A and B are shown apart, each in its own frame.
Chain A
């Protein structure tokens, strides 16, 4: 597994060191690391393409080749371990020529229409071509053409742009343990395909979009809702309501050149208001609502001896994963809809009534860090208002693109506030954007609601951070409540298999499909890597800390919503509007 710089530094402290020579410079590096890792530790840049941090190294693209003295062939630095005394040349003519040739070969089977590509500007192939000074492609010949696969509600696959680096395949297998896609055919006819050659939309793909983040080119992208949203905004007969997810405010600055981890809530609101939405609301409002519903569901299950552990249901990628791979755990999963869907249902009922708008004229748009949200809002069950509750779901990337198209510079916007009342939220909702956040928010409310006491320490550091599986326990009314948090479905399997085997000690489990939680979602700006994930997480907790209210049950707008409209948490109306059901799906 490709290691991070930090892990390597750690390794350096422990491991035996070997002496190697990088372009003549002596370096002592830990035994067992690869040449590439050694180069990065020593500050040498080696271009890569199929290599990706956090995935196994594959060695297929042959871009990172280097020369090792005494070896007849060039070796791929990403898979070749260092050896004592190894003399490595990183910048010889042979190395430069081989890299350029292999890049040209890739380009010879790739469309040369960068301007028309989704990834224009964020494409690694384009960047390498620029860096390597490619001005012509010496090797002409056949270019493979494939039909674009638009069958998935979330992920668009354009195999024409695929360079077969396999990062998507490895992400799907190693990070998500979904294995929806793999290589098919061989040689020049190789392509990436869901099993049995089925379209992606009919596969076990859970729509998480991590493959999009992994893709170096425009072969994978989200199914765009941009045109539909333009149509809605520009239609005077439509009342267009926007909701923005907790994780968007800490990432949407990135496409505008702001450093990762910049909190841009106010600027973001101002920008979207200028885009033409009639109301700019906050998904955080329904994140608070989710906590109330899910918190009461948990308390209810504990009191009534219901199915435990309760598993969160906010992440639509996780939900589809569960339906395919763990249908036997269906009853463990909370029936609460995700905040996006709660928002749609509330907007088209409560808010529409309040405003005297016919819900058929209302369009609810969400901006999500997520591609699975596109799938979720189109699920048949998600029509509690009588209409599709959420009409369109944009990724953070699409939203940034719309702003740019209209010439709105987010970084220059003034700070503005969300509209009332669906724009009022607490810090508990804010942390939904990071792994462990839903659990932390739930614990804050569950504790206070069930004990009637005030929680002294609101920060549950045990459930924060990027460890794959985290756990904590909390005494509530004399009961030791064990909770666990997993992000990335490969990690989640560790918890789920325990539940399945009946030996899980946990009462409450949070699962987020994407590594890092929503801030690392498949709809987030590219690049999204470990370092950027950490910065976004830090920003999420900054948002939480700076909010006056940090517990969902203290949200005044939520209280009012129950008083005016919903009645009791988990009551009949709440059940109708805010809860859902699941269905087992085939594993193909």
Chain B
């Protein structure tokens, strides 16, 4: 059946929280009431990207955005716009901006956006496989199964220089090649969707908005490395992602894109879902494998690395959701196209999630190499309330701490480590200068104290001692010796912790102790908080 108009309702976890489900219901009810049921179709879609007002509704093909659209305004939109063809200007986003359908050009505030992994999010109904197929879905899988050998697939991914988007930035093609070359009949593909980095929610929006792209990519990976089975390890806190994945797996099976002899080829592939139980460390790939196997989520000894000995001891390739979402377009458009985006050493796009004290919050996909200044002051609309920028935590607590002097560093996997920072998962937490540095560092410390798995001494006890010392400092009981102890504990953890989590945990502390030394010293010497926001605030008043 053909409809003259489609009404797209953004239905992500957060828009549901803003009442999107009720809006959708109201739309359907009103459309039926005015007798347009056979002419207008209401669709659920994934995220439109940046943090736009919610509920977010697009009338297509009119390209009119109503946001935020509240339930009580639905009747007006249906009667005026859909029935009479008169746009309700005062309910439109930002007073009347148009939505453009061109795939890689998105309107305000996202002029810089380049969509590769979010190519379908917001454009299709994630619960309808035909929407995905209509936008070239499963074409890449068909291409590899009919035209390419596994080696050729790996070669294409290697040539694209796609770096793993989970945080470490390891070349995906190499990972695949190692797994392909590893001996063994039984191999596995694992999708790491245990997105636990605070401030990161890119994987969730990909899974909610375009689950088939992940299934397609996993099947391609399976074909390339010689695996027949894939697992998606997804946090249980993402019920909508899980629901969409389950439905997508069912539909893909029905259409013959998963299962026995895919598309009539010799290749068979199945995907299973495993839900995480909320441990941050399970995002670490070997702890994740332990968890899939039903064991306590603790990192394994490396080497052997997963491509040699992974799930159930078999060669396993583990890729992040965002990494996988890049695979089908690379296959279809070729590695040269991919390398035309981003920087030569770090091609492609990156999905960033902007959080904290910034005007425009949300998710944005931009070419690699963008600077923090562009991200925060152009896309993010600057620091909220006109305050100064204190720091930006990139990639969550275990990523890097970017101080204002690093605003013009290109954001890539290869440049940030030179500044003792890291791109990580792409989370950007903006902290303005009204915050006390001791508070900021303590909040990161508390996170790691809570999330340390407890396996190794420096992380298990070190994080505890760090938080205790920071507490003393913010209670006005700190000494200069405490600052030395913090440095010592932080360095020790960085040097001797078992896994990446522990080694990265002290990064914010160490960076801040260096850059904000003066502020720390004021806390311990003068018992005063220059920002005036930590527990020493009252003390500050008495002193002054």
Q: Interface residues, chain A, CB within 8 Å of chain B? A: 57-63, 65, 73-74, 76, 79, 81, 94, 97-98, 101-102, 105-106, 108-109, 138-142, 164, 182-183, 185-190
**With known contacts A79-B301, A108-B465, A109-B461, A187–B492 Cβ distance under 8 A:** no
Q: B495 near A74 (CB under 8 angstroms)?
A: yes
Q: B169-199: which have CB < 8 Å to A?
A: none
A interface SS class: loop
Report the minimum CB–CB distance from A119 to chain B (whole Å).
19
Given B451, B453, B498, which contacts A76 in the complex, CB threshold below 8 Å? B498
- New A-B contacts (18) at CB < 8 Å, excluding given A61-B457, A186-B453, A188-B452: A58-B455, A60-B457, A60-B498, A62-B497, A73-B496, A81-B303, A101-B489, A101-B492, A101-B496, A108-B465, A138-B485, A139-B485, A142-B464, A183-B298, A185-B454, A186-B281, A188-B461, A188-B464
Which chain B positions have C-beta within 8 A of A182? 296
Once the chains are docked, how many angstroms separate the CA of A73 from the CA of B498? 10
Q: A65 near B468 (CB under 8 angstroms)?
A: no
For chain B, the bracket of interface size reads 20 to 34
Which chain B positions have C-beta within 8 A of A141? 464-465, 468
Which chain A positions have C-beta within 8 A of B503? 73
In this assembly, does B43 line the interface, its C-beta being within 8 Å of a C-beta of chain A?
no
Q: B417-434: which have CB < 8 Å to A?
A: none
Among B279, B458, B461, B464, which residue has the most Cβ atoms of chain A within 10 A?
B461
Q: List 7 A-B contacts (CB under 8 A).
A: A62-B458, A65-B495, A73-B503, A98-B496, A106-B457, A183-B298, A186-B451
Which chain B positions have C-beta within 8 A of A98? 492, 495-496
B interface SS class: helix
Which chain B positions have C-beta within 8 A of A142? 464, 468
Among A57, A81, A101, A142, which residue has the most Cβ atoms of chain B within 10 A?
A101
**With known contacts A60-B498, A73-B496, A138-B485, A186–B454 Cβ distance under 8 A:** yes
Given A58, A74, A81, A140, which contacts B496 in the complex, CB threshold below 8 Å? A74
Q: B267-288: which have CB < 8 Å to A?
A: 279, 281
Q: B458 near A105 (CB under 8 angstroms)?
A: yes
Q: B461 near A108 (CB under 8 angstroms)?
A: yes
Report the minimum CB–CB distance from B12 to chain A (whole Å).
30
Which chain B positions have C-beta within 8 A of A74? 495-496
Report the minimum CB–CB distance from B480 to chain A (whole Å).
14
**With known contacts A59-B301, A76-B498, A98-B492, A187–B465 Cβ distance under 8 A:** no
In this assembly, does B456 line the interface, its C-beta being within 8 Å of a C-beta of chain A?
yes
Given B281, B303, B454, B461, which contacts A183 in the complex, CB threshold below 8 Å? B454
Report the minimum CB–CB distance from B478 to chain A (whole Å).
13
In this assembly, does B244 line the interface, its C-beta being within 8 Å of a C-beta of chain A?
no
Q: B495 near A59 (CB under 8 angstroms)?
A: no
Which chain A positions have C-beta within 8 A of B488? 101, 138
Given B279, B454, B463, which contacts A190 in the complex, CB threshold below 8 Å? B454
Once the chains are docked, how many angstroms separate the CA of A388 from the CA of B250? 65
Contact mask for chain B residues 439-476; partner A; CB cutoff 8 A; 1 contact, 0 none:
00000000001111111111011111100100000000
Q: Interface residues, chain B, CB within 8 Å of chain A? A: 279, 281, 296, 298, 301, 303, 449-458, 460-465, 468, 485, 488-489, 492, 494-498, 503
Shortest beta-carbon contacts, A-B, top 7: A190-B454, A187-B452, A105-B461, A141-B468, A188-B464, A79-B301, A139-B465
Q: B454 near A62 (CB under 8 angstroms)?
A: no
Q: A60 near B464 (CB under 8 angstroms)?
A: no
**Number of A-B residue pairs having CB atoms within 8 Å of each other in the complex:** 101
Once the chains are docked, how many angstroms separate the CA of A106 from the CA of B485? 16
Report the minimum CB–CB distance from B477 to chain A (whole Å).
12
Once the chains are docked, how many angstroms separate the CA of A61 from the CA of B462? 12
Q: B456 near A59 (CB under 8 angstroms)?
A: yes
Which chain B positions have C-beta within 8 A of A60? 455-457, 498
Report the minimum CB–CB distance from A197 to chain B (whole Å).
14
Once the chains are docked, how many angstroms separate the CA of A73 from the CA of B468? 25
Which chain A positions have C-beta within 8 A of B468? 140-142
Which chain A positions have C-beta within 8 A of B464? 109, 141-142, 187-188
Name A100's closest neighbour in chain B (CB-CB): B492
Report the minimum CB–CB distance from B190 to chain A (whole Å).
22
Q: A105 near B462 (CB under 8 angstroms)?
A: yes
Once the chains are docked, how many angstroms separate the CA of A248 from the CA of B496? 42
Q: A62 near B461 (CB under 8 angstroms)?
A: no
Q: A188 near B454 (CB under 8 angstroms)?
A: yes
Name B453's closest neighbour in chain A (CB-CB): A186
Which chain B positions have C-beta within 8 A of A73? 494-497, 503
Q: A59 near B449 (CB under 8 angstroms)?
A: no
Once the chains are docked, how many angstroms separate the CA of A164 from the CA of B489? 19
Q: B296 near A65 (CB under 8 angstroms)?
A: no
Name A141's closest neighbour in chain B (CB-CB): B468
Given B279, B281, B460, which contacts A164 in the complex, CB threshold below 8 Å? B460
Which chain B positions have C-beta within 8 A of A59? 301, 456, 498
Which chain A positions have C-beta within 8 A of B449? 187-188
Report the minimum CB–CB distance from A2 to chain B (whole Å).
12
Q: A94 near B495 (CB under 8 angstroms)?
A: yes
Name B494's closest neighbour in chain A (CB-CB): A73
Name B302's closest neighbour in chain A (CB-CB): A79
